[in-house]
Each structure stands twice: as C-alpha cells, then as structure tokens.
C-alpha cells in the first residue's frame, strides 16, 4: 500500500486548516478535488481520517496520530529537496570553523547563517595547540577566527574582524590577588595558564612571561584551572565577566599600564589555495561586516 506525496500534502493542509475549501485555496486545487483525494486516501488506508460537518472538517483520533507521521514524511521530503537544490547551486554540504575566541561573539552571525542556509551543516572545532592557521592551511577548517598573529600571507588570506579587551585574572585566593596592581615581575613569579602552544605570540605579550607555564586547549579549561588557583591567565574580558562580577576572579591591573586596556585584534583566516563555495562566501562576508567589538573601560567601542 503506497500513498503519494500529493495525498500527504493535501492531508496536511486539510488537517491544519480544518476545511476542504481552505486547503484547496492553499494548494491551488478545487474543493471537490481535495474532498475526493481525501476520500481516496481513507479508502487506501482503510482508516477514517476526518469527521465531516457542513461547516468544518476535524481529524479523528486515528487521523491525529497519522498526521504526525505524514508531517515527518513531508519534512524529510522538504529536506531532500533543499539538499538537491543546494548541490545544483554549488552550495557546500558543510563548513568547518576553527575558532580560538569565545563563540558568543559570532553567535548572531551563525544564527543568520542557519536561516539563510538551513541545508548546510556547521562544524565548529577548537584548534589543537591553538594553531588556527595550520588548520585552515591543511583544509581541516574552511575559516578560522583567532587573535591576531603573524601568518604566512602567501597561503593564508586574513581580515581583521575587530578587537577584544583582554584581562589578566587570578583566583581571589591566589597570592597575586593581594598585590594589585601587579608588575611584570610579579607575574613572572607565578604559574601562567596559557592557551595552546601559541608558538607565534599575540601582539604586545612579549613581557608576559613566566618560567612555569601550563598550556590548555580551550578557554573553558583555562577558566577552570584559574578558578582552582593553579595560576594566572590572560582571557577575553567578556569570557570571564560573570566570574569577575561574582568575585570569583580578580582582574590583575598592571603597574606599567594603569590606565590602558589591553586590546587584541581578532582576525578571520581563509586559504588562498582553495576555492570557496557560496555558503562559505556568504559567511565570510557577514563575519567581516558584523565586526567584533565590546565596550572598553572608558565606555568606548573597541572596533
């Protein structure tokens, strides 16, 4: 026993609208054709689907149950159609992103992408060893977002997306919490919790050294280690704002720069050696357009 897609589409329209006439207008058929199609469907299924009255049509108990199965079939069919259309339009099936900043900064763009390209899957990867450039170059990621560092411009294209405010933080129980403001020499005495290998350091970090460094592969791990009092860390302000407000962490303002926020650029990276599909092109353009910024201490934007 087989049911056609046209029958299921008509069934769903009648069930939603509660009227053969209204369903006929929506699917551009005559009311008599809709009524006949539903009568034939009931015969094919050998199940009463509708309770008919002069003014409206309602579903029977069996009709209510079967409607859910019909909707699943129609949703699967629509997904198949979108996939086929996407392939015909040369739209990628999936896009991978290597992101080395807190995801919240680009969440609005990703939401808009999901609405514009519902058939395209997104794979967000935390870069191993903090090396976003290597993942983009190898093809593991189509796009990369990372704090500004020198890159190989012969193989990697880049565009600055904006700037973030970075802060040095420590647990309230850590000895450094009692020395604020701290000096570079103070930081040098205690363990530094760092992100990945960071073989090419972030700009303006040449003074932030420590003989003891623990490296971790995610901001979440760095945060947990810092909260546990294992050392001090440099993290985006927005990522630790809640912990600072709760008094779980303390910002280590520096003696050398008492009135200056530490601003670090954020770059978007993509390969010069690989062509980009329509979805990747759309996402890259939107990331560039919707720049990353936040409010610094004086209340000015960091763009």
pLDDT digits (tens, 9 = 90+) for 226-235: 999 999 998 8
With a cut of 70, say whether residue 158 has pLDDT above it: yes
Judge contact between 172 and 247, C-beta under 8 A: yes
Q: Which residues lie below 8 Å from residue 266, measured CB to CB, with a gap of 6+?
A: 101, 105, 145, 146, 147, 148, 160, 161, 162, 163, 164, 292
Domain map (residue ranges) of the chain: 5-88, 93-303
Q: What does the pLDDT average to over 89-109?
A: 85
Q: What is the CA radius of gyration of the chain?
A: 28
**Tens digits of residue pLDDT in 106-118:** 889 999 999 998 8
Q: Are 164 and 302 in contact (CB under 8 A)?
A: yes
Res 177: pLDDT: 92
**Class of the domain covering 93-303:** alpha beta
Contact 24, 34 (CB under 8 A): yes
The domain 5-88 is placed in CATH, from the list 1.20.140.90, 1.10.287.10, 1.10.10.10, 3.90.1150.10, at 1.10.10.10
């Amino acid at each position: 026993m087989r049911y056609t897609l046209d029958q299921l589409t008509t069934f769903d329209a009648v069930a939603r609208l509660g009227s053969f006439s209204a369903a006929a207008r929506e699917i551009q058929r005559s009311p008599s054709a809709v009524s006949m199609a539903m009568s034939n469907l009931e015969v094919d299924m050998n199940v009463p689907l509708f309770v008919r009255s002069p003014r409206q049509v309602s579903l029977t108990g069996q009709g209510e149950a079967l409607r859910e199965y019909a909707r699943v079939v129609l949703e699967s069919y629509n997904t198949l159609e979108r996939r086929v259309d996407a392939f015909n339009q040369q739209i990628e099936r999936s896009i991978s992103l290597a992101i080395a900043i807190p995801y919240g900064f680009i969440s609005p763009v990703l939401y808009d992408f999901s609405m514009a390209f519902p058939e395209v899957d997104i794979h967000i990867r935390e870069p191993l060893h903090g090396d976003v450039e290597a993942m983009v170059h190898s093809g593991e990621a189509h796009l990369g977002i990372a704090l500004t560092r020198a890159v190989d411009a012969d193989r990697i294209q880049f565009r600055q997306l904006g700037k973030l405010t970075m802060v040095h933080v420590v647990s309230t129980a850590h000895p450094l919490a009692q020395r604020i403001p701290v000096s570079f020499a103070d930081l040098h005495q205690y363990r530094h919790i760092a992100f990945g290998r960071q073989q090419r350091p972030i700009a303006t970090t040449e003074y932030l050294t420590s003989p003891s460094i623990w490296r971790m592969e995610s901001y979440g791990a760095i945060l947990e280690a810092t909260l546990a009092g294992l050392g001090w860390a440099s993290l985006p302000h927005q990522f630790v704002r809640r912990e600072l407000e709760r008094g779980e962490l303390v910002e280590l303002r520096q003696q050398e720069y008492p009135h200056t926020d530490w601003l670090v650029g954020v770059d978007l990276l993509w390969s010069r050696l690989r062509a980009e599909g329509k979805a990747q092109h759309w996402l890259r353009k939107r990331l560039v357009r919707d720049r990353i910024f936040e409010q610094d201490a004086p209340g000015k934007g960091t763009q």
